[in-house]
C-alpha cells in the first residue's frame, strides 16, 4: 500500500530550517526528556493539540515550515524511552489533551482519543455505572491505551493483545491528509485496506481516535496462583500451559514470573548480600516471600491464571481439571473465586474487602486481572534504590535505571527455558539481577518481557546496564529465531 508522504521524516535529525523561529510554541525544559536510561534525544519545542482538527492544523503548519517532529500519546513509555524521541527532532507533538471518551453499550465499544489513559477510561466506566471492562497492563495507570496498543502492548486477561481490540481508527497522515475508518457496525474489515497497523511510532501518520472493544464483566472468575519450587518440574508445567492455551482450557494469558521479580514487586530490595551472589541469594528470596504472607508465590517461578465463566458447574469442572493437571508437578496452588459483585465492589474502592479466601498479597494481581489499573509493576523499578513510596513513584525523576526487552517466541518449554537461562547468565555476569515474566499470550505464541534494573545515580552504571542489554539483544538475534518485537529507543553515543 502506498502512503501519503510529507516533506519530512518523523525520524529525521534536528536542525531543520525554521526551528529557531518556532517561538509560538513552548520550549521544553531539560527535565522533560528524563528517561530510565542514558539518551540525548530531545526536541526543542512542544505543542499539545486539543482536538483532531487542531492536530491537522499543526501538521500542516510543520510541513509548511519544514520542521521535523516526534509524537507521544502521554509519554509514559517506561523502560523504552518515556517522552524521548527515536531521534532528535524540532517539535514534540504531545497528544495528552486528546481526552474524548464515549461508550456505546449497544455495540460494546468505547470511542476514545489518543490521550485517554487506563485510569481515565476506568474512572469513566465506574462513574457512569457501566458494567463493562477493559483489560489493563502492568504499566502505570497514567499510560495511554491507544499509545500502548499501537506500540505492541498487551494486557492481562482474555484476548489481551490490545491492537486486536481496535476496531477502527481516525487520524492524519504525515502530509496532512485525514483518514477515518469508523463505521456504523463493529466490522474491522471491508473492501478497503486495513490501515490500523500502519501508524506505529508515527511512521506514516498519527491516530487521534479509535473505536475500542469492551467486554461485559463476567458473572464469575477463577484466579489461580501457583509456584514452582527449584526441585519441581518447570518444563512439564510450561508444557501444560501450552496445552491449556492451545485447547482453550485457559482463556486469559498465563503469566510466569521469576523469583526476583516477585521479590522486588513486594518491597524486597537489593542489598550487599546479593551483589556477586545472585544465584545463592535466591534462598533468601524464597524465605522472605514465605515469611511475608506470600507462600503461594515463594518458589523459583510463580504465576497466575484466570478464566471467566457464566456457569458455576462449568467453573468447577474446568478448574478441577486445571488444578489436578498442575498438581502432578507442583505443590503450591491456590485458587480464588471472584464474583461479579466482588468486581463491582472493588471498582468502587480498590482497598475494599477481597473475595472470600483471598490473601492480601493477592490484591495487586486480583485487581489487575479484573480490569483495575491500581497496581502495576512500576515498584520493581526501585529495586536498587532500597526504598519506594508506592503513592509517589516516578522512575525518571528518581533516576531509576529501567530497560525493557520484549520477545515473541513459540511456547514450547525447551525453547523458552533455554532462552531464559542464557539471558539470566548474561545479566548475572554483569553483577545485575534478572527480572522477567513469561506470558502465554496466544494459543501459538508466548512473550518474554525481560528487564534490567539499576540505579542511575551510581557512577558508570548506565554503561554497565547498556552493555548488558546489548549483550542480551545480541544473543537473541545471533543464536535464536526469536523475534525482538520491542526494545529501547536509541542509547546515547559514547
User: So what's the pLDDT on residue 2?
Assistant: 39
Q: Provide, rounded to the nearest whole percent, the portion of the chain with pLDDT above 70.
A: 92
Helix (H) or strand (E) holding 330: none
The mean pLDDT of the chain is: 88
pLDDT band, residue 201 (cuts 50/70/90):
low
Q: 309 and 220 in contact (C-beta within 8 Å)?
A: yes
What crossing angle do the helices spanning 413-429 and 234-246 adopt, rounded to 10°? 130
pLDDT band, residue 1 (cuts 50/70/90):
very low
Q: 401 and 36 in contact (C-beta within 8 Å)?
A: yes
Q: Does the structure show a pLDDT above 80 at 151? A: yes
Q: How many alpha carbons fall within 13 Å on the CB side of residue 487?
A: 16
Least confident of 13-17, 117-121, 157-161, 246-250: 13-17
pLDDT band, residue 24 (cuts 50/70/90):
very low
218 vs 231: CA distance, rounded Å? 37
pLDDT band, residue 184 (cuts 50/70/90):
confident
367-425 pLDDT, tens digit per residue, is 999 999 976 778 888 999 878 787 788 888 899 999 999 999 988 888 899 999 999 99
Q: Does the structure show a pLDDT above 90 at 3? A: no
Q: 18 and 67 in contact (C-beta within 8 Å)?
A: yes
Per-residue pLDDT, averaged over 156-177, amounts to: 88
Q: Which residue has the higher pLDDT, 98 or 6?
A: 98
Q: Does the structure show a pLDDT above 70 at 61? A: yes
Q: Which residue has the higher pLDDT, 159 or 210?
A: 210
User: So what's the pLDDT on residue 433?
Assistant: 94
pLDDT band, residue 191 (cuts 50/70/90):
confident
87-100 pLDDT, tens digit per residue, is 888 999 999 999 99
191 vs 457: CA distance, rounded Å? 55
449-471 pLDDT, tens digit per residue, is 999 999 999 879 999 999 999 99
User: So what's the pLDDT on residue 12?
Assistant: 31
Per-residue pLDDT, averaged over 425-440, amounts to: 95
270-293 pLDDT, tens digit per residue, is 888 898 999 999 999 999 999 998
287-330 pLDDT, tens digit per residue, is 999 999 899 999 999 999 999 999 999 999 999 999 999 999 99
Could you tell me the domains of the chain? 19-94 (3.30.43.10), 101-216 (3.30.465.10), 225-303+358-494 (3.40.462.10)
Q: Does the structure show a pLDDT above 90 at 476? A: yes
DSSP string, 73-129: SS---TTTTTT--SS-EEEEEE-TT---EEEETTTTEEEEETT-BHHHHHHHHHHTT
Q: Provide, rounded to the nearest whole percent, the portion of the chain with pLDDT above 90.
A: 63
User: So what's the pLDDT on residue 49?
Assistant: 94
Query: How many beta carbons lie within 10 A of that of residue 3, not counting itself?
Result: 15
Q: Which residue has the higher pLDDT, 194 or 245?
A: 245
User: So what's the pLDDT on residue 26?
Assistant: 59
Q: Does the structure show a pLDDT above 50 at 6? A: no
9 vs 67: CA distance, rounded Å? 9
Least confident of 21-30, 217-226, 423-432: 21-30
Q: Does the structure show a pLDDT above 70 at 13? A: no
Query: Which candidate, 101, 9, 97, 85, places its Cα nearest to that of 45?
Result: 85
Sorted by sequence, the CB contacts under 8 Å of residue 245 that are 6+ apart come out as 254, 411, 440, 442, 443
Q: Does the structure show a pLDDT above 90 at 80? A: no
Amino acid at each position: 500500500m502506498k502512503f501519503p508522504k510529507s516533506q519530512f521524516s518523523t525520524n529525521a535529525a534536528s536542525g531543520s530550517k525554521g526551528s529557531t523561529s518556532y517561538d509560538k510554541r513552548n520550549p521544553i525544559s531539560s527535565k522533560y526528556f528524563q528517561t530510565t536510561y542514558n539518551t540525548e534525544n530531545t526536541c526543542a519545542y512542544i505543542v499539545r493539540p486539543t482536538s483532531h482538527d487542531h492536530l491537522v492544523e499543526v501538521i500542516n503548519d510543520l510541513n509548511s515550515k519544514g520542521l521535523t517532529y516526534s509524537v507521544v500519546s502521554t509519554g509514559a513509555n517506561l523502560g523504552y524511552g518515556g517522552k524521548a524521541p527515536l531521534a532528535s527532532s524540532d517539535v514534540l507533538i504531545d497528544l495528552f489533551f486528546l481526552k474524548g471518551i464515549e461508550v456505546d453499550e449497544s455495540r460494546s465499544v468505547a470511542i476514545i482519543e489518543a490521550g485517554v489513559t487506563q485510569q481515565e477510561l476506568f474512572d469513566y466506566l465506574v462513574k457512569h455505572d457501566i458494567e463493562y471492562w477493559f483489560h489493563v497492563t502492568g504499566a502505570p495507570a497514567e499510560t495511554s491505551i491507544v499509545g500502548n496498543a499501537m506500540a505492541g502492548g498487551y494486557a492481562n486477561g482474555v484476548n489481551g493483545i490490545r491492537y486486536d481490540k481496535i476496531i477502527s481508527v481516525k487520524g492524519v497522515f504525515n502530509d496532512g491528509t485525514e483518514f477515518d475508518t469508523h463505521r456504523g457496525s463493529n466490522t474491522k474489515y471491508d473492501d478497503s485496506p486495513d490501515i490500523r497497523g500502519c501508524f506505529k511510532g508515527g511512521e506514516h501518520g498519527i491516530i487521534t481516535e479509535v473505536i475500542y472493544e469492551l467486554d461485559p464483566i463476567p458473572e464469575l472468575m477463577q484466579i489461580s496462583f501457583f509456584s514452582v519450587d527449584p526441585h519441581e518440574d518447570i518444563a512439564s508445567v510450561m508444557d501444560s500451559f501450552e496445552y491449556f492455551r492451545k485447547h482453550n482450557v485457559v482463556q486469559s494469558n498465563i503469566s510466569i514470573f521469576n523469583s526476583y521479580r516477585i521479590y522486588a514487586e513486594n518491597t524486597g530490595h537489593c542489598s550487599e548480600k546479593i551483589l556477586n551472589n545472585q544465584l545463592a541469594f535466591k534462598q533468601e528470596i524464597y524465605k522472605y516471600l514465605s515469611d511475608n504472607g506470600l507462600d503461594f508465590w515463594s518458589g523459583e517461578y510463580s504465576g497466575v491464571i484466570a478464566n471467566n465463566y457464566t456457569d458455576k458447574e462449568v467453573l468447577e469442572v474446568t478448574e478441577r481439571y486445571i488444578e489436578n493437571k498442575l498438581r502432578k508437578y507442583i505443590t503450591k496452588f491456590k485458587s480464588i473465586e471472584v464474583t461479579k459483585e466482588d468486581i463491582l465492589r472493588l471498582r468502587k474502592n480498590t482497598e475494599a474487602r477481597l473475595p472470600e479466601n483471598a490473601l492480601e498479597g493477592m490484591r495487586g494481581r486480583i485487581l489487575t486481572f479484573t480490569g483495575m489499573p491500581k497496581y502495576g509493576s512500576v515498584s520493581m523499578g526501585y529495586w536498587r534504590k532500597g526504598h519506594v513510596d508506592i503513592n509517589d513513584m516516578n522512575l525518571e525523576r528518581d533516576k531509576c535505571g529501567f530497560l525493557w526487552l520484549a520477545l515473541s517466541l513459540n511456547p514450547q518449554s525447551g525453547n523458552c527455558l533455554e532462552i531464559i537461562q542464557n539471558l539470566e547468565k548474561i545479566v548475572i555476569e554483569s553483577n545485575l539481577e534478572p527480572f522477567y515474566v513469561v506470558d502465554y499470550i496466544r494459543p501459538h505464541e508466548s512473550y518474554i518481557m525481560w528487564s534490567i534494573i539499576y540505579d542511575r545515580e551510581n557512577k558508570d552504571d548506565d554503561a554497565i546496564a547498556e552493555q548488558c542489554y546489548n549483550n542480551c539483544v545480541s544473543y537473541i538475534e545471533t543464536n535464536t529465531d526469536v523475534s525482538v518485537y520491542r526494545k529501547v529507543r536509541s542509547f546515547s553515543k559514547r
